[in-house]
Chains A and B, each alone.
Chain A
Amino acid sequence: MACFEIKNLSFSYPGAPGGASEGDREHSGAPGYFDTPKALQDIDLTVEDGEYVLLCGKSGCGKTTLLRHCKTVLTPHGKREGKILFHGKPLEKSDQRTQAARIGYVMQDPDAQIVTDKVWHELAFGLESLGMDQKTMRLRVAEMASYFGIQDWFCKDVGQLSGGQKQLLNLASIMAMQPDVLILDEPTSQLDPIAAADFLNTVRKINLELGTTILITEHRLEDIYHAADRVVVMDQGQILTDGTPRQVCDFLQGREHEMFTAMPAPVQVYYGTGGVAVENCPLTVREGRSFLSGIFAGRDPESLVQEIEVSGRHKSEGELENSPLSIVMKEVWFRYEKDTPDVLRGVDLEIPQGSIFAVVGGNGTGKSTMLKSVCGVCRPYRGKIWIEGKRLDKYKGGELFAGTLAMLPQDPKSVFVKKTVREELLEMCDGRAANGAADRSAASEEEQILKIAELCEIDDLLDRHPYDLSGGEQQRTALAKVMLTEPKILLLDEPTKGMDSFFKQKFARVLKRLQTEGVTVVMVSHDVEFCARYADLTGMFFDGSIVTVNTPEKFFARNSFYTTAANRMSRHIFQNAVNVEDVIELCRKNR
């Protein structure tokens, strides 16, 4: 029997004539500014019991709006047509209690979803709301804690958990109510890749072992695409295509749709090298490897062309060696408290001016702390740091942040204080006038803002509230704010967290443009694919220090685990291929 049947559903938000759409970050009833007339248009979708359905599409295409319609209390206010049946009955006919128990909904933000202060209490929250008796609750809580491996932190305060643990707790507390269907709205967008993969595996396990129906949206398709039974692609409030993962790839490729660039690397390589048959399309790295082996069967890897055209992609090694150094760290040691272990253990680092420098590494190794020590928030107890040739200690007061260095924090919301994006940007200008750097007239301020807004591609968002923007837009707005201090060095902490692949491309364009203006960019990131594609130099951070620094080609080609999917699927044949394009190019050359 069908779990959900959505028939002919159309929806528009109130507040704009003819209806409106906002997209992923919309909350019920929040007014906004709108581009398309309808948030959802003629949606027909059936989700069978026990199915694993992946819903994907660009940010703002209406995914979240659609998911919120699947639960009455979360349904946004607005004009709605069509109907939604839940197990054959109209959804509104089941009361809140039934829906709470049978439809589980996990949201993006791991922290704000949690209600109580103790892990054990959070697990029981839903059960308490349903008025269950103590005995049943004990059993359910015990079951869930064991199933999700929460026993070790069962008695902890919620504040002590990592982001991944928090999201797992949200999932567990919903599963304790034993829902028939689990709806997940970009659950991993705030998590690092390892925690995200862990979370998605748990979701997969729930689907396989308990038969719970899963309806999930994700922008990190690599980990999840192959696991889905069905993929639904949305575009501008409509369903573009609906089918098995392989059919969807074929469809998108045939249409040359931009969503195709978000597909997993093996898929892109397959179609890039002229693959045709739908059923042979590799979805995982393992399938990708055997696909490549098949192409080059019987050929000696030694005889293959291995050279890739890399010039122009980023600054050459020679160019980097000759440029003066922007940041120098020598033997930097740091710990947070006198009797806690060292976080930085002798960091040695030299970053050339005008480069994009990426630092990758596991969670909690001290990458963010390193950035904080560069901008003087964490003072090292041993070692020296030079910024633009001057000792860090010699910068007095706010001198460092007035035109030399600026940092974009992990959570872009931390820098927002005003009602509109324009005011946010203006705020940065008066500061400079007050600092006495320059007296600017209102007109030139406006000009300045427009220039930066254009550079960061947010010029059409100037009148929106910063909190109404999507994650990627917030990130670029924060970047624009930071850029108005006109820094020579820009530090970025996990800049691509929560961005979909299109926003990443936009963001990368912005970074490249800044680079041409002579800005040095240092970023700390988990996003291996992004670093491989856009950085000039990449460093690996491990156990409190930088282990190795190299150009992305050399760096990722030598790693076997910490590297891109394209490299992992092709490394048994090609030595230097890091990106999808490299693999495709080499395949063509060797045909």
Chain B
Amino acid sequence: MNRQDAFSGYSPQVNFIFYIGTVFFTVLIVHPAFLICSLVLAAVYYLQVRGRQGLRTIVGMSPVFVVVSAINPLLNTGGDRALFYLGQRPYTLEALYYGMALGCMLTAVILWFASYNRTMTSDKFMFVFGRKSPVISMILTMVFRMVPGFQRKARQITTARRCIGRMETGSSLQSKLLPSFAVVSALTSWALEGGVITADSMQSRGYGSGKRSAFSIYSFVKRDRLTVCLMILLMMGILAAVLRGGTRASYTPELLVSGYDDPWLWIGSICWFVFLSIPVAVDVVEEMRWHVLRSKI
């Protein structure tokens, strides 16, 4: 199921700023409250984008978490609350907590990237970077088109040559490699031939005749501006909390985590939570709006 979620419909810049902020702070702040926030919302948003199928991926991520958590104490022996000893090496509770924090961070980042792949398609990425340099964006676009084209053609050539008995491999290394070399050679000729036609087609449509402009189907409207402002405000809030030590957390050799009596922790984590909920909230609001509209009819 590939449902179009509301957040993907926002301007690519909005999507991009969100992901930059998310990944940056997830990696920067190791405070458990922040990490749990990030992990939970990453999972919720991923489910929203992928639907039921996403559940399998999320469950599949749990071994990563377990392994990272369990391995850290083996490498890191800081901390004084030893759970048990492996030979001479203590397996400490602090190191285990730290491992859990790292595991949490890793899974959260992976899940964010999983939804990134769905939300930021190649053309959106191009749009964010391409406006400064139409030529580079042009080259990237052509590469995006050629790679799958090559794969398709290579398959076609392999099938064609197999059907005239030219893909048979003998026992020696040489005879095993030869058919593949032939395919590569055929692929090269085909690509060169196609390149000549593509070049003609580009020139014939005025490529290189002067300054280029870049076309896009995206627009930056009021709601995008508002969202960007909100995101900047929230990020400033988080940054202030970081500087004021509200997000301080260290695990080994001693467990030092700022507690609920620190007002900056509250400010920071609320900002963080609101920031991360933007995609989910946008989607839920949209859904509710449709519900209301429909029930009015």
Contact = CB atoms under 8 A, between A and B. Distances in A.
Contact of A130 (B122, B142, B165, B206): B206
B53 interface: no
Given A131-B211, A416-B189, A482-B164, A409 B159 contact: yes
Contacts of B60: none
Q: Which of B144, B149, B198, B201 has the most CB of A within 10 A?
A: B201
A517 B148 CA distance: 42
B203 A485 contact: no
A74 B164 CA distance: 37
Given A96-B209, A159-B148, A414-B186, A128 B134 contact: yes
A174 B186 contact: no
B177 interface: no
Nearest to A116: B141
Interface in B161-205: 161-168, 170, 175, 182-183, 185-186, 189-190, 193-194, 196-198, 200-205
A115 B148 contact: no
Contacts of A113: 197-198, 201
A397 B168 contact: yes
Contacts of B74: none
B206 A96 contact: yes
Contacts of B166: 415, 427-428, 431
B149 A409 contact: no
B141 A121 contact: yes
Given A115-B198, A377-B163, A74 B170 contact: no
Contact of A121 (B198, B206, B213, B215): B215
Contacts of B59: none
Interface string B204-232: 11111111111111000000000000000
Contact of A414 (B138, B160, B175): B160
A417 B175 contact: no
A71 B204 contact: yes
A173 B160 CA distance: 33
A545 to B, nearest CB: 23
A222 interface: no
A398 B164 CA distance: 9
Given A159-B149, A434-B170, A467-B189, A411 B156 contact: yes
Contact of B206 (A100, A170, A415, A435): A100
B152 interface: yes
B155 to A, nearest CB: 10
B186 A416 contact: yes
Contacts of A406: 163-165
A73 B170 contact: no
B199 to A, nearest CB: 9
Contacts of A32: none
B200 A107 contact: yes
Nearest to B123: A118
Contact of B163 (A71, A115, A401, A411): A401
B145 interface: yes
Contacts of A401: 162-165, 168
B126 to A, nearest CB: 9
B157 interface: yes
A455 interface: no
Nearest to A30: B196
Contacts of B144: 117
A9 interface: no
Contacts of A467: 189, 193
A567 B102 CA distance: 77
A485 B215 contact: no
A499 interface: no
Interface string A109-148: 1011111111011001111111111100110010000000
Nearest to B193: A467
Q: How large is the interface on B (under 10, 10 to 19, 20 to 34, 35 or more residues)?
A: 35 or more
Interface string A404-428: 0111010101111100000000011
A512 interface: no
Contacts of A195: none
Contacts of A155: 217
A112 B197 contact: yes
A304 interface: no
Contacts of B122: 117
Given A112-B197, A117-B141, A158-B145, A74 B209 contact: no
Given A100-B204, A117-B144, A121-B215, A431 B210 contact: no
Contact of B165 (A120, A158, A174, A402): A402
A476 interface: no
B207 A129 contact: yes
Contacts of B194: 109, 111-112
A329 B217 CA distance: 51
Contacts of A159: 145, 148-149, 152
Interface in A98-113: 100-101, 105, 107, 109, 111-113
A177 interface: yes
Interface in A69-115: 71, 73-74, 95-97, 100-101, 105, 107, 109, 111-115
B219 to A, nearest CB: 9
B196 to A, nearest CB: 5
Interface in A462-512: 467, 481-482, 485, 491
Given A112-B198, A121-B123, A97 B162 contact: no
Contacts of A435: 168
A115 B156 contact: no
Nearest to A140: B215
A177 to B, nearest CB: 7
A343 interface: no
Given A115-B198, A416-B186, A134 B164 contact: no
B213 to A, nearest CB: 5
Contacts of A315: none
A118 B148 CA distance: 13
Given A100-B206, A112-B201, A416-B189, A409 B213 contact: no
A100 B211 contact: no
Given A107-B200, A398-B165, 17 more contacts: A73-B200, A100-B204, A111-B149, A127-B215, A130-B206, A130-B209, A131-B211, A159-B145, A159-B149, A377-B159, A398-B168, A401-B165, A406-B163, A406-B164, A409-B160, A428-B164, A467-B193
16 contacts: A96-B209, A97-B210, A100-B204, A111-B194, A114-B198, A117-B123, A118-B141, A141-B215, A159-B145, A170-B201, A177-B205, A372-B159, A375-B163, A406-B163, A409-B160, A417-B182
3 shortest interchain CB distances as A-B pairs: A100-B206, A401-B165, A124-B215
Interface of B: 122-123, 134, 138, 141-142, 144-145, 148-149, 152, 156-157, 159-168, 170, 175, 182-183, 185-186, 189-190, 193-194, 196-198, 200-217
